[in-house]
Amino acid sequence: MSTPLLRCSNVSVAYGEVVGLRDVSLDVAQGEVIAIIGANGAGKSSLLNGIMRLAKTTGTVEFDGHDISRARASRLTRMGLALVPERRQIFPSLTVEENLLVGANALPRRERRAALAEIYDTFALLAERREQAAGTMSGGQQQIVALARAVISRPKLCLLDEPSLGLAPIWVSELFNEITRLARTGMTIVVVEQLASAALAIADRGYVLEHGRVALEGRAADLLGNAAVAGRYLGSVDQAAAR
């Protein structure tokens, strides 16, 4: 395999005393869609926060051949990394268009308008509501805003942190269709999800995290519906039954 677009080597993430991620290594090749699943507290968000330099990490993270382990968060967009944060975290007091323009900050000024136009072509919803304050939108709509804000800068790698969180099922399928479409344009995608089936259904490969470590990995099709995955996911239901 050629050099992976993203490589994490022995990455640990800690928030003060609490260890979120322990010694995790994984690779993401160009053009792949990777699903990271696991129960709450398994370390999924910690992984993304670590990659995006929003949390303290040890270990090495390499992106596109560069070591970004010590880089500043604001540099990463320019390098082609983008994040759709947990719980969307759009800028509530800004309008949809302003949110998108902030996302396009890394682009030179001339290109921003063009990128904006492209986004409006792709996401009709946003074109309709470009002047609406993002904070007044529903969760599902905000998720689209957050997604568009991340991809407007045409990143090489897009990280999505639990995009289905708090969304009604119909929005979930909309969203995952969108992600698939983006993947088809050649974007590399890493989706962290609690809703394992939705994530695995669109992914090439998957990793199951448990207690901050990689418990299982493999092709998404193999993991889907797998009983061992369910067991890991629900924190060893079987062990409890044995008591």
Partner 1 sequence: MMRPWARGGWRVELVIVLVAIVALVLLGGANAYYVRIIELVLIYAMVGMALDVITGYGGQFSLGHSGLFAVGAYAASYGYLHMGIPFPLNALWAMAIAAVAGVIIAWPALRLSDLYLALATMAFAFIVQLAANDFDGITGGAGGVGGLAPAISRYGISAWLGEHYLWVVGLAFVVTWILLRRMTRSRWGRALIGMRDSEMLAASVGVDLRALKRGAFVLSAMVTGLAGALFAHLGFLSPDIFQLALSISFITIVFLGGSGTLIGSLVGAIVVVGVPERVTIDPNLNLVIYGALLIVVMIAAPRGVAGALQSVAERWRRTRSAPKPSVAVDVHEPATPGPRVRPSEPLDPRRALVATDVHKAFGGNTVLNGVDLTVGAGRLVGLIGPNGSGKTTLLNILGGQLIADAAELRIDDERVEQLGPPDRVRRGLARTFQHATLVPSLTVSENVMLGAHLRGAIPFVGAPFAVGRRLREERALGERAAALLEEVGVEPGYWHRRPEELPYGVTRIVEVAVALAAEPRYLMLDEPAAGLVEEEIERLAGVIDRCVGSGVGVLLVEHHLGLVLRLADSVVCLDGGKIIMSGDPETVARHPAVLEAYLGPAWATPATEVTP
Partner 2 sequence: MATLIEVLVSGLALGAIYALVGLSLNVVYITTRVVSFAQGDIGMLVVAGTLWLGDHGGRPLAVDLVLALAGAAVVAVLVDLIAVRAIRGGVGVAAYGWIVSTLGVSIVIQNSTAMWFGTESRGFPHVLPTGTIELFGAVIPTERLLTVAVVAALILLLALAVAKTQWGRVARALADNQPIAAACGVPTNWIRTSVVLVGAALVGVAAMLSAPQTFVNAYIGTSLLLNGMVAIVLGGLGNVRAGLVGGLVLGVANAIAGRYLDSTLVPYVPFVLLLVWLIFGADVRGKLASARAARRRDPVGVTA
Q: How far is the CB of 118 from partner 1 (least distance, A)?
A: 28
* DSSP code string of the chain: -PPPSEEEEEEEEEETTEEEEEEEEEEE-TT-EEEEEE-TTSSHHHHHHHHTTSS-EEEEEEETTEE-TT--HHHHHHHTEEEE-TT----TTSBHHHHHHHHGGGS-HHHHHHHHHHHHHH-HHHHHTTTSBGGGS-HHHHHHHHHHHHHTT--SEEEEE-TTTT--HHHHHHHHHHHHHHHHTT-EEEEEESSHHHHHHH-SEEEEEETTEEEEEEEHHHHTT-HHHHHHHTT-HHHHHT-
Q: Does 103 bind partner 2 (CB under 8 A)?
A: yes
Q: Which is nearer to partner 1, 17 or 131 (CB)?
A: 17
Q: How far is the CB of 238 from partner 1 (least distance, A)?
A: 5
Q: Which is nearer to partner 1, 147 or 208 (CB)?
A: 208
> Which residue from 7, 129, 149, 205 is in contact with partner 2, where contact means CB under 8 A?
149
Instruction: Name which of residues 129 to 148 contact partner 2 (CB under 8 A).
Output: 133, 135-136
**Residues at the interface with partner 2 (CB under 8 A):** 52, 54, 72-78, 83, 85, 87, 89, 91-94, 98-99, 101-103, 105-106, 109, 112, 133, 135-136, 149, 153, 165-166
